[in-house]
Structure 1
Amino acid sequence: MPSDPAQRIGANSQPTVVLDRTAGSAQKKHTWEGLPAALISGDDRLDYNRPYAVLGGPGTGKTSLLVDAAVEFLLHGGSAEDLLFVTPTKEAATRLRTEIFERVRDTESYAATGTPVRSVHAWAFAIERWIRQRQNAPLPRLISGAEHDAQIRILLRGEVEDGLRLWPEDVMPALTFVGFARQLRDVLLRATERGMTASELEKVGVQFSRPMWEAAGRFLARYNQAQRLGESWNLNASELLHSVIHDMENTPEGQDVALRLRERLRLVLVDDAHNLDPAAARFVEHLIAPGTRTLIAGDPDQCVFHFRGADEAFLSRHAEHDDYRVVLSHSHRLASGQAQAVRALTAHLPHSSTRIPVQDKGAAGAVRTVIAGSAMAEKLHVADAVRRAHVVDGIPWEDIAVIVRGTGQIPSLRRVLLSHGVPVTVDPTSQVLAQQPLVSVLLLAVESVYRRLSVGETRQLLESSVGGADPVMVRRVERALGRAIAHSRTHGQEVPERSDGQPYQSADCLADLLAGQVTDQQYEEWTAFMSPRELDVVQRVTRVIDAGREAYAANAGVEAVLWKVWQATELSTRLQTRALRGGTLGSQADQDLDAVMSLFDLAGDFAERNPQASAQTFVEEVRAQELPTDTRDRRGSHEGAVEILPAHAAAGREWEVVIVSGVQEDVWPAGPTVGGLFGQLELVDYLDRQIDPNVLVSRIGPAVEEEKRLFLLALSRARSTCIITAVDNETDEGGVPSRFFTDIAEACSPLTAQSGAEDGSTELRAADLPRVLALEPLIGELRDAVGASTPPEDEREAAAWKARREDAAQNLAKMARAGIYGAHPSQWWGTAEPSTNHTLVDHDDQVRLSPSRLEALSDCALSAFFDRHRGVEKQTEHQRIGNAVHAIAEAIVGGLSLEDALRAVDAIVPLISDGPQWRTANLLERWREGITRLHEFLTARQEGAEGYTVTSEKMLRVPLGTMDDGHNVVLNGRIDLSVTGPDGATIVYDFKTSRTAKTQGEAQTSPQLSAYQFMIARTDGLSNDGAALVYPGTGDTKAKVVQQAAMSEDEVEDFGRVMLNLARSASGPEFRATPGKHCDFCDFATSCPAQTAGRTLV
Structure 2
Amino acid sequence: MILSPPPAPAASAAVGYRLLRTPPAPVAPPVLDAAQRAVVEHREGPLLVLAGPGTGKTTTLIESVLARVRAGTAPDRILVLTFSRRAAVDLRDRMAARGLGGLTASTFHSFCYALVREHQPAEAFQEPVRLLSGAEQDLLVRELLAGQAALEREGRGRVRWPDDLRAALTTRGFADEVRAVLARTRELGLGPVALADFAHRIGRPDWTAAAAFLDEYLEVTELGGMVDYTELVHRAVLLAWRPEVHQELTRRYDAVYVDEYQDTDPAQVRLLRALAGQGRTLVAFGDPDQSVYAFRGADINGILGFPEQFPRRDGTPADVSVLRISRRARAGLLAATRHLTARMPLPRLPADAVRAHRALTAQAQGGTVDVRTYPTAGAEVESIADTLRRAHLEDGHAWRTMAVLTRTTAALAPLRRALTSAGVPTDLPPATTPLHTDPALTPLLLALRLAATSLLPPPQAPEGPLGEQTAGAPPPQQPDVPADGSAGAPPPEQPGVPADGVSSAPSGGPGEEGGVGSSGGSQGALGVSADGVSSGPSGEPVGAPLGAPGVLPDGASSVLPGGPVEDGGVAAPGDIQGASDVPPDGLPSALPGEPVGGALDPPGVPADGVPSRGPGASASRGLPAGSGAAGEVGVGVEDALTLLASPLGGMDAADLRRLGRALREEERAAGVAVPRPSDVLIAEAVAQPERLVAHDPSYARGARRVGALLRAARDTLAGGGTAEDALWTLWNGTPWSARLERAALRGGAAGRNADRDLDAVCALFETAARAEERTGGRGALNFLEELSAQDIAADTLGGRTVRPDAVQLMTAHRAKGLEWRLVVVAGVQEGVWPDLRRRGSLLEADRIGRDGIAPPLSQGALLAEERRLFYVATTRASERLLVTAVKSAADDGDQPSRFLAELGVAPQDVTHRPRRPLAVAALVAELRATTVDPAASPALREAAAHRLARLAALNDDGHPLVPAAHPDRWWGLYEPTASAVPLRDRDQPVALSGSALDQLANTCALQWFLGREVKAEPPATAAQGFGNVVHVLADEVASGRAPADLDVLMARLDSVWDALAFDAPWKSRQEKDNARAALERFLRWHVMERGRTPVATEHDFDVTLAAGDARVRIRGSMDRVETDAQGAAYVVDFKTGRSKPTADQVAHHPQLAVYQLAVREGAVDPLFGGRPTPPGGAELVQLRLGATRREGGETLPAVQRQEPLAGEWAEELLATAAGRVLDERFTPAAGQHCTHCAFRAACTARPEGRHIVE
So what's the TM-score if we normalise by structure 2? 0.73
Equivalent pair of 1:434/1:623 in contact (CA under 8 Å): yes
Larger RCO of the pair (alpha carbons < 8 Å, separation 6+)? 2
* Structure-1 separation of matches of 2:986 and 2:914: 50
Equivalent pair of 1:58/1:331 in contact (CA under 8 Å): yes
Which one is further off, 220-229 or 847-856?
847-856
1:324 alignment partner AA: D
- In the alignment, which of 403, 407, 419 is matched to residue 401 of structure 1? 403
1:932 is displaced (CA, Å) by 3.0
Distance 1:317 1:908, change over 3 A: same
Determine the structure 1 residue equivalent to 2:964. Answer: 822
1:66 alignment partner AA: L
Q: Map 1:446-595 onto structure 2 (within 5 A).
A: 446-450=448-452, 451=454, 452-467=634-649, 469-472=650-653, 475-492=654-671, 504-515=676-687, 517=688, 519=690, 522-525=691-694, 527=695, 530=696, 532-542=697-707, 544-569=709-734, 575-576=740-741, 579=744, 582-595=747-760
- In the alignment, which of 1107, 1110, 1123 is matched to residue 980 of structure 1? 1123
Equivalent pair of 1:140/1:235 in contact (CA under 8 Å): yes
2:1006 corresponds to 1:862? yes
Deviations 1:129-178 (A, max 9, x none): 22224796764222211121233344455567776565667766665554
**Per the alignment, in what secondary structure is the counterpart of residue 626 of structure 1?**
coil
Alignment RMSD (CA, Å): 4.2
Equivalent pair of 1:647/1:713 in contact (CA under 8 Å): yes
Equivalent pair of 2:180/2:840 in contact (CA under 8 Å): no
Determine the structure 1 residue equivalent to 2:1044. Answer: 896
**Per the alignment, in what secondary structure is the counterpart of residue 791 of structure 2?**
coil
Determine the structure 1 residue equivalent to 2:1081. Answer: 933
* Structure-1 separation of matches of 2:1108 and 2:940: 46
Which one is further off, 605-614 or 995-1004?
995-1004
- In the alignment, which of 370, 379, 390 is matched to residue 368 of structure 1? 370
* Structure-2 separation of matches of 1:856 and 1:122: 74
* Structure-2 separation of matches of 1:97 and 1:164: 55
* Structure-2 separation of matches of 1:406 and 1:13: 60
**Per the alignment, in what secondary structure is the counterpart of residue 747 of structure 1?**
coil
Which one is further off, 614-623 or 871-880?
871-880
1:1061 alignment partner AA: T
Distance 1:884 1:188, change over 3 A: farther
Distance 1:772 1:406, change over 3 A: same
Could you list the runs of 5+ residues in structure 2 that have no partner in the other structure? 1-12, 309-315, 455-633, 1165-1172
So what's the TM-score if we normalise by structure 1? 0.82
2:393 corresponds to 1:235? no
* Structure-2 separation of matches of 1:129 and 1:748: 57
Distance 1:855 1:352, change over 3 A: farther
* Structure-1 separation of matches of 2:299 and 2:1050: 70
1:111 alignment partner AA: G
Which one is further off, 644-653 or 954-963?
954-963
Determine the structure 1 residue equivalent to 2:945. Answer: 806
**Per the alignment, in what secondary structure is the counterpart of residue 880 of structure 2?**
strand
Q: What is the percent sequence identity of the aligned residues?
A: 30
2:247 corresponds to 1:247? no
- In the alignment, which of 79, 83, 100 is matched to residue 78 of structure 2? 83
2:337 alignment partner AA: V
* Structure-2 separation of matches of 1:537 and 1:662: 45
Distance 1:593 1:484, change over 3 A: closer
* Structure-1 separation of matches of 2:986 and 2:703: 28
1:334 alignment partner AA: A
Distance 1:831 1:283, change over 3 A: farther
2:760 alignment partner AA: A
* Structure-2 separation of matches of 1:1084 and 1:466: 31
1:601 alignment partner AA: E
Deviations 1:750-777 (A, max 9, x none): 5xxxxxxxxxxxx9644x3663333333
**Per the alignment, in what secondary structure is the counterpart of residue 325 of structure 1?**
strand
Distance 1:620 1:299, change over 3 A: same
Q: Map 1:182-581 onto structure 2 (within 5 A).
A: 182-198=176-192, 213-230=207-224, 233-249=225-241, 254-319=242-307, 324-349=319-344, 352=347, 356-357=357-358, 359=360, 361=362, 362-369=364-371, 371-372=373-374, 374-419=376-421, 422-428=424-430, 430-450=432-452, 451=454, 452-467=634-649, 469-472=650-653, 475-492=654-671, 504-515=676-687, 517=688, 519=690, 522-525=691-694, 527=695, 530=696, 532-542=697-707, 544-569=709-734, 575-576=740-741, 579=744
Equivalent pair of 1:910/1:924 in contact (CA under 8 Å): no
* Structure-1 separation of matches of 2:886 and 2:985: 54
2:47 corresponds to 1:57? no
Equivalent pair of 1:265/1:292 in contact (CA under 8 Å): no
- In the alignment, which of 1191, 1206, 1227 is matched to residue 1072 of structure 1? 1227
Determine the structure 1 residue equivalent to 2:1251. Answer: 1096
**Per the alignment, in what secondary structure is the counterpart of residue 1093 of structure 1?**
helix
Equivalent pair of 1:425/1:588 in contact (CA under 8 Å): no
Equivalent pair of 1:859/1:1074 in contact (CA under 8 Å): yes
**Per the alignment, in what secondary structure is the counterpart of residue 849 of structure 2?**
helix
* Structure-2 separation of matches of 1:331 and 1:1016: 97
* Structure-1 separation of matches of 2:147 and 2:892: 40
Which one is further off, 605-614 or 377-386?
377-386
Q: Which is helix-richer, 1 or 2?
A: 1
Determine the structure 1 residue equivalent to 2:135. Answer: 146
2:60 corresponds to 1:70? no
* Structure-2 separation of matches of 1:850 and 1:177: 59
Could you list the runs of 5+ residues in structure 1 that have no partner in the other structure? 1-11, 105-109, 496-501, 751-762
Determine the structure 2 residue equivalent to 1:758. Answer: none
Determine the structure 1 residue equivalent to 2:606. Answer: none
Aligned residues: 1019
Determine the structure 2 residue equivalent to 1:33. Answer: 34
Equivalent pair of 2:402/2:807 in contact (CA under 8 Å): yes
Distance 1:981 1:433, change over 3 A: same
Deviations 1:24-57 (A, max 9, x none): 48657242214x42221234xxxx44x3222243
Determine the structure 1 residue equivalent to 2:922. Answer: 777
* Structure-1 separation of matches of 2:1060 and 2:739: 46
1:827 alignment partner AA: R
Equivalent pair of 2:1187/2:1197 in contact (CA under 8 Å): no
Determine the structure 1 residue equivalent to 2:602. Answer: none
Distance 1:429 1:930, change over 3 A: closer
2:897 corresponds to 1:739? yes
Distance 1:134 1:208, change over 3 A: same
Deviations 1:332-378 (A, max 9, x none): 22234433442333445566565643546243233334545554554
Determine the structure 2 residue equivalent to 1:42. Answer: 42
Distance 1:621 1:1063, change over 3 A: farther
Equivalent pair of 2:1082/2:1196 in contact (CA under 8 Å): no
2:91 corresponds to 1:101? no
* Structure-2 separation of matches of 1:939 and 1:176: 59
Equivalent pair of 1:372/1:728 in contact (CA under 8 Å): yes
Deviations 1:113-137 (A, max 9, x none): xx52211111211112222247967
* Structure-1 separation of matches of 2:212 and 2:1120: 70
1:131 alignment partner AA: H
1:245 is displaced (CA, Å) by 1.8
1:313 is displaced (CA, Å) by 0.7
* Structure-2 separation of matches of 1:69 and 1:360: 22
* Structure-1 separation of matches of 2:346 and 2:1155: 87
Determine the structure 2 residue equivalent to 1:685. Answer: 847
* Structure-2 separation of matches of 1:991 and 1:375: 55
Which one is further off, 1028-1037 or 262-271?
1028-1037
1:1044 is displaced (CA, Å) by 4.5
**Per the alignment, in what secondary structure is the counterpart of residue 333 of structure 1?**
coil
* Structure-2 separation of matches of 1:702 and 1:99: 37
* Structure-2 separation of matches of 1:120 and 1:28: 28
1:840 is displaced (CA, Å) by 4.3
Equivalent pair of 1:269/1:296 in contact (CA under 8 Å): yes
Distance 1:542 1:1043, change over 3 A: closer
Distance 1:1080 1:26, change over 3 A: farther
* Structure-1 separation of matches of 2:906 and 2:91: 32
* Structure-1 separation of matches of 2:638 and 2:63: 57
